Amino acid sequence: MSEISQRTLGGFIERELSRKYLRIFFRQNFFLVRPQDLEKRLRLEYPLLASVSVTRVFPNNLNIEVTERKKIILWYSQDQYYLIDEEGAAHDSTQALLPENMPYVLSITDMSNKQVALGEKVFDASYGAFAIQMKELFPAQLGLGIEPRYTTVSRFADELRVKTDEGWEAYFGTGIPIEASLNVLKLLIEKELPKERRAKLAYIDLRAETRAYYAFREGENIESPVTLSPSVLTEEKKTDVSSKKKK
């Protein structure tokens, strides 16, 4: 545990146990403590917590074990945010939207605007892991920042779109290893897209495993071959890198 201090959690537990139970007994009575209730309250109060385990330790102690999320993933659709857990299920996002949690939030907007029900599985666990890796690996490998607000055309599209701090977007296929896609992107930038050209760039599409496409806002067309080394792909392949007009 690093972001939520033990003191913060301890204070919350003390406040919870000081409340009266059934208006008669105080909750700190060891035999009246309900571990599952405390676990639920902690998860609701602190959305950065991925898991919480509360157990009684005789004679009068509680053992509390927690693990934290690297990021809080929020799914946005039909003007509503949903907190998505590690298994891809949707939960209430009220606490996650508080200002103190914003530094940890990654949001994904579903452009298809499909309705989501609480408890419904929105995406697979691997999709959420991909989104978190993107935030970590993209700046590290490309030296460019990305916004913590992603988009996708649909929850069923197996894709993720990110916007760089230079203003252009990159489209990723979530079924392709992120390292492979970033290697292609880095090679493309180094060989074809210096910073002055990226000023006019609209997007780079990396959703095909061995090809990348890019388009400029003015509709400029470029075609140039790029050869990837065996360190980039499992076997040496010649990759065509071409642009296509934005639809």
| Mean pLDDT calculated for residue range 216-236 | 50
Q: Among positive and negative, which fits the CA dihedral 191, 196, 201, 203?
A: positive
Task: Report the distance separating Cα 37 and Cα 15, nearest Å.
Answer: 14
pLDDT for 201 equals: 92
| Domain positions in the chain | 6-68, 72-243
- Model pTM score: 0.80
| Mean pLDDT calculated for residue range 98-111 | 96
- pLDDT bucket at 246, cuts 50 / 70 / 90: very low
Task: Report the distance separating Cα 39 and Cα 52, nearest Å.
Answer: 6
Compare 47 and 231 and report the one with higher pLDDT.
Answer: 47
What confidence tens digit (pLDDT) does each residue in 19-65 have? 544 344 444 555 556 778 888 888 888 999 999 888 877 766 777 88
What confidence tens digit (pLDDT) does each residue in 73-92 have? 999 999 999 999 999 999 99
| Mean pLDDT calculated for residue range 160-187 | 95
Query: Do 68 and 57 form a contact (C-beta atoms < 8 A)?
Result: no
pLDDT of 149 over the 90 cut: yes
Q: Which two tokens stand for residue 239?
A: 């990759």
Quote the percentage of the chain above a pLDDT of 90: 56
- pLDDT bucket at 222, cuts 50 / 70 / 90: low
pLDDT for 23 equals: 44
